[in-house]
Amino acid sequence: MERPVTTLFMLMSVDGKISTGSTDNLDVDKDLPKIEGVREGIHQYYEIEQTTDLWSFNTGRVQAKMGVNGKPFPEKSPVSFVILDNRHLTEHGVRYFCEFSKEFVLVTTDPKHPAFGIKADNLHIILQQELSLSDMLKTLKTDFGCERLTIQSGGTLNGLFLREKLFDYIDIVVAPVLIGGKDTATLIDGESLKDECDLDKLGPLQLVECKQLEDSYIRLRYKVRG
């Protein structure tokens, strides 16, 4: 395979929501621990997360929501991070990932991104004229030796991975909560299909594991067919 084996790993509600609302001040990582009947089991998601691949893909928007632009610098992690970002990470946010990551690969279409002004041995920048997820994945494998990649991006970007058939596995932890709201991000967002001829862009799945966790949580693992 010319690209890494990819796994979409996410926490979602029973109705498929990956956020608690439609604004950036609402977030499952911040909000679910406040809810009785949900907070008791959420630790299981983070424990499973610690067993995922040593290459992790995310977005600057998600990381900005989690506060990396203002957090104190963390201790070094064995994980290498790939962050897609044009305008959400500040210089501090970039330095945060340089300190945190084994290797930090920033993917951007912005030639004026703050990362270009930073010197760090583990900072690598993939500058694209237009976003190409398939080219990004190929570069990660050929230039950086990334063989397996865990994807934890937002619903719209997840939709691009799906339509371009770039998911190999889906690993979902389902929290026992209903969130609702048509404008709240779901596991897969983006443009809807409009014609029967586009049905080949769907992602049929083969169940690998269905495991009941504690406190009414469930873990679902699938292989993407085709």
Q: pLDDT per residue over 5-38, tens digit each?
A: 999 999 999 999 999 999 988 999 999 999 999 9
Contacts for 10 with CB less than 8 Å, ≥ 6 apart: 18, 152, 158, 171, 172, 173, 187
Beta strands in the chain (DSSP E): 5-13, 55-59, 80-84, 104-108, 123-127, 148-151, 169-175, 205-212, 218-224
pLDDT at position 198? 86
pLDDT at position 193? 87
Q: List the CATH number of the domain containing 183.
A: 3.40.430.10
Residue 73 gets which letter from DSSP? Answer: P
Q: Where are the alpha helices (DSSP H) in the chain?
A: 28-31, 43-49, 60-65, 91-100, 133-144, 155-163
Total domains in the chain come to: 1
- In the predicted model, what is the mean pLDDT of residues 115-127? 98
Task: Please choose, from the candidates 158, 180, 190, the residue with its C-alpha nearest in 3D space to the C-alpha of residue 171.
Answer: 158
Per the prediction, the chain carries an average pLDDT of 96
pLDDT at position 94? 98
Q: What angle do CA 204, 209, 214 make, to 5 degrees?
A: 130
Domain, as residue range, for 216? 5-224
pLDDT at position 2? 96
